[in-house]
A = this chain, B = another copy of it.
Amino acid sequence: MNFDAVTKFYDYLPKLEDLKNILYPQQQREFVLLFAEELLEVETANKWIQQFSLKYQVQSGEKLKSIEEFPHHIANITNLLSTQSHKNLTLVVLGGGTVGDFGGFVASIYKRGIDLIHIPSTWLAAIDSAHGGKNALNVGSVKNQVGTFYPAKAVILVKELFASLSQDPVRSSLGELIKIGIVNSPSLIEFMKDTEAKPEDYLWELLPQAIMAKMNIALQDPYEKTGLRQQLNLGHSLGHVLETLCGWPHGWAVAQGLYFSLHWSLEKKIINKESHSDIYNFLQRFFAEKQSPQGESLPKLTEVDFLKVLAGDKKKMGNNTINFVFIQQLGKVVIEAVTEQEMMSEARRQGWL
């Protein structure tokens, strides 16, 4: 499979004919649209959606990713597409992260796989989740328990969508942008350091660079076999705990994970003091440490809950190792195996517990 999706940038939602010509010039092709219902409230998106005779509307959110809901959805989709040959069918997925995860999974298993185009509608999806070919559903309380590696043929980035949706990019996605900068794009961080503009005013311009930095890593290890792709998990060990226990938005939780990794890296002498201060000061411009995006302080976390999330709801806890991503310098991270107990101790030392 080819993980190197065609990536296109548009000011406005492209005409269906243009979308077709990107991948299928001169070919017959049927498009079916899967879209998040909140886009009906965006006038231009609503109008665009009406072009599709085959379309399926879903509600964004974790419930969409529940495996328990899946039989119902796939029966509806099967019914919708029952007159279509799957041979020339492409699923267009318009929405944010959960819709992308759901739609990617559907495309990967419907008739053993049909073509997929992602049109992310949130900054978080545009920066991160629409790229790299991973999708997932949840099983009970276990997030992302099932899924596939199934790259889109194309990812379409539409400026208008991000402008028209009321989103706070700092809260929802800036953590992922800065993460990829630290992992693999120092110049992206340098740009952000040097500008006094607000992120919402330059995020669109930084998108190509951020996506390329991510894909440079993902393409070297698309199926997560060599461990190289795990670099992209920087900030995610603690991030996942905070997302689950505090309900903080993904990007914000990852940003907290960046602080955590940064401090631990200094403690382990993986990063020098100067680089540590440099990155620390940079993070502080955007994220208040140990606070919610609304400025509320960290809720009381118990060690049992913390360990439970860390261990992925495993019955036996505390004996497993985590491939933790440490920061050596801007543009260079290193992965080291640590035990869950070591991570707990560090969380205690840093005052998260």
Contacts of A314 in B (CB 8 A): 82-83
Give Cα distance in the complex from A78 to B142, angstroms: 8
In the complex, are the beta carbons of A78 and B145 less than 8 A apart? yes
Quick one: which of B70, B148, B312 contacts A148, CB cutoff 8 A? B148
Please tell me if A285 contacts chain B, counting CB pairs below 8 Å.
no
Option from B78, B145, B146 in Cβ contact (under 8 Å) with A140: B78
Answer whether residue A12 sits at the interface, using C-beta atoms and an 8 A cutoff.
Answer: no
Number of copies: 2
Q: Which B-chain residue is minimally distant from A319 (CB atoms)?
A: B83
Query: Quick one: which of A300-325 are within 8 Å of B by CB?
Result: 312-316, 320
Q: Are A147 and B78 in contact (CB under 8 A)?
A: no
Per the bound structure, the CA–CA distance linking A112 and B142 in Å amounts to 14
Binds B, one of A103-111, A151-159, A327-335: A103-111
Whole-angstrom CA separation of A50 from B316 in the bound complex: 23
A295 within 8 A of B: no
- The answer, yes or no, to whether A351 is at the interface (CB within 8 Å) is no
Whether A171 sits at the interface, judged by CB under 8 Å, is no
CB proximity to B under 8 Å, residues A130-183: 134, 136, 139-140, 142, 145-149
User: What 1/0 mask marks residues of chain A from 48 to 85 whose CB sits below 8 Å from any chain B CB?
Assistant: 00000000000000000001101100110010001101
**Any chain B CB within 8 A of the CB of A282?**
no
A residues touching B (Cβ–Cβ < 8 Å)?
A: 67-68, 70-71, 74-75, 78, 82-83, 85, 108-113, 134, 136, 139-140, 142, 145-149, 223-224, 312-316, 320
